[in-house]
Amino acid sequence: MASSIQPGDHKEFMRLALSLAQKSPPKPTNYRVGAVVVDVPSNTILATGYTLELEGNTHAEQCCFMKLAHQHGVPEEKLGEVLPSDLALYTTVEPCSKRLSGNLPCVERVLRLAGCIKTVYVGILEPEKFVQENTGRKSLKDAGIEVVHVEGMEKEILDVATAGHVKE
């Protein structure tokens, strides 16, 4: 779907991701995250996702990729063969580099699409509550994927992300 958001309006794409995060059920064991995959040249939103949208303890980015794989009729590991080559991923919280559930970390999912995803825009860097020393950012940069912090929405994003958490 062609986006009504102006090309390059990173804050508006992040607002869209945040509105998706709000659909995620609040739980003390995960962050409520929203994600959007955009084809940059055509400014088309290819997929959206949020934490626990799909079955199986799914993260927002994972939901985007699962939907794209289903749409294209390929397994998720083959997505890089069918997607356009200039995509941006907007995610309210930095992609995880480790999953305690045994699911593939979102950073590894993004790395599989290194030929397609050129930039990952994040609203907040991953807090160290669940994953200490997140190495994801470095892995993405090493693969030639730019990681850009979209500043100015941190409090809003963190409030949504941590709804359902026990406040200390």
**Overall average pLDDT of the 103-122 stretch:** 96
Residue 44 lies in a domain: yes
Residue 97 lies in a domain: yes
Query: Would the pLDDT of 128 be above 60?
Result: no
Could you report the per-residue pLDDT of 18-27, keeping only the tens digit for each? Answer: 999 999 999 8
Task: Look up the CATH number of the domain holding residue 64.
Answer: 3.40.140.10
Strands 44-50, 34-39: pairing is antiparallel
Which residues are tagged catalytic? 61
Residue 167 lies in a domain: no
Q: How confident is the model at residue 74 (pLDDT cuts 50, 70, 90)?
A: very high
Residue 4 lies in a domain: no
Q: Specify the pLDDT at position 3.
A: 83
Give the number of domains in the chain.
1
Task: Give the domain range for residue 45.
Answer: 10-161
Residues 6+ apart with CB under 8 A from 113: 65, 79, 80, 83, 87
Query: Would the pLDDT of 129 be above 70?
Result: no
Residue 166 lies in a domain: no
Q: What is the model's pTM?
A: 0.93
Residue 67 lies in a domain: yes
